[in-house]
Amino acid sequence: MTVLRERRLRAVGVRHHDVVAYDWGWTHGGIQRVQRTFVLLDDGMQISQPILFPPDQHGWWYCDLLKVADEGDLIRIDDLWIDVIVGPPDHPYRVLDLDEYGQALAAGELTVADAADGLARIQRFLDRRLNRRHEAVQQWIDFPPAAVEELLTADLPQDWSMLGA
C-alpha cells in the first residue's frame, strides 16, 4: 500500500489491522536517516519515535492529528496542527499547537465541522490511549497500541520519494 503524506511524500508501507506503517528518510548532517512512522486509522493519528529527538527523549513518541482519506491501497494524510508528545508513563504527556489549530480555523483553513471533528478525535485519542482515571499503576492505557508494537521491528519496504523535488 502507498501513503501520500502532505502531497509531498510518497512511501510504500504495510497495513496491519487498523495501523499503516511506513519508513521514509532524508539526509541530515551528511547521514542518511530513516524514520518509521505509523498511522492509526481508527484514531486519525500518526505516531513516531523521532530519531532526531535528544538522547534523553529516546523512545518518546510524537503524535500528529491527521486528516485521513483511506482509499484502499492508497492512504492520503494531512497534518491538522495538534500534536502530542508522549514520554514514559511516569511523565505527563504534552499537547501542542492548539494555537495553530485555532489560527487555521480563523483563517478558513478548517471548516467549523472539520475543526469540531478534529477536537473530538484528539480528545478520543487522549481518553482511549493515555488518560488515566484512578489507576494506581503508572502506565498508559493503550499506548502504543499492540499493532504498532508488532510493527516496530518488522521489515518494511524501503521505498519512498519526495514529490515535486
Q: What is the DSSP annotation of 89-114?
A: TTS--EEE-HHHHHHHHHTTSS-HHH
The whole-model pTM stands at 0.93
pLDDT mean by block of 10 residues, the chain; 165 residues: 96 95 92 95 97 94 97 95 95 95 96 96 95 74 92 95 83
67-96: pLDDT as tens digits? 999 998 999 999 999 999 999 988 889 999
Give the C-alpha separation, 64 to 79, whole Å: 7
Which domains does the chain possess?
Answer: 2-152 (2.40.380.10)
Tracing cell 482519506 back to the chain, one arrives at 69
